[in-house]
Amino acid sequence: MYCGFNDETNARNFPGLNFSREEMAQAAAFQAGAPILIVIPLAWLVIGWSLGQVLGRMSNLTSAIAARGVDSKEQIPVADAPSEVRPLIEAMNVLTARLQRALETQKRFVADAAHELRTPLAALRIQIDSLRLQPNELTSQELRFSGW
């Protein structure tokens, strides 16, 4: 048995409804499409607003990092950062701390090496100055025995 409607049976079975199949299809399509046409622009607005909020916090973080000096020892603030970026910021803070420790170690080494080099040079200068003041007192044979 065939249950489809055509225009004549529709008008005969439902006398108050004089819709054709095309009109019913258009009405159904509009009813299905209208919510989508409303939801898509609203979704774009919500997504745009939320991205603006996240990127706004990112621009604040970028400004804070860019304003730091070379010798800055403060850590990058984690509190205002988005949760997705916090592990990256924490890793950068750890790396900065390690680099600062390495720089301090290097500075201490250079200071110690400079001191160690100055001490023998100072002793040599004292000996040279004393030899200049008393050139006739030491003979070449005495200089050889003294290690000169």
pLDDT at 25: 86
What pLDDT sits at residue 46?
A: 95
Q: What share of the chain is helix, strand, coil (3-state, %, to 5)?
A: 70, 0, 30
Angstrom distance (rounded) from CA 148 to CA 143: 5
pLDDT tens across the length of the chain (148 residues): 444 555 555 545 555 556 688 888 888 888 888 888 889 999 999 999 998 887 887 887 888 888 888 778 888 888 878 888 889 989 988 998 998 899 999 999 998 888 777 777 777 888 887 777 775 555 565 556 555 5
Residue written as tokens 């750890």?
Answer: 94
φ, ψ (nearest 5 deg) of residue 106:
-65, -40
User: What was the pLDDT predicted at 118?
Assistant: 77
Tokens of 7: 């225009």
Longest CA pairwise span in the chain (Å): 144
Q: Give me the torsion for CA of 6, 8, 9, 14, rounded to 10°.
A: 110
For residues 35 and 41, give the distance between their C-alpha atoms in angstroms, rounded to a whole number.
11
- Would you state the pLDDT for residue 56? 80
Q: Where are the alpha helices (H) located in 67-85, listed in sequence order?
A: none
pLDDT at 1: 44
Q: Please give the C-alpha separations between residue 57 and each of 48, 67, 91, 100, in angstroms, as whole numbers.
A: 14, 15, 19, 27
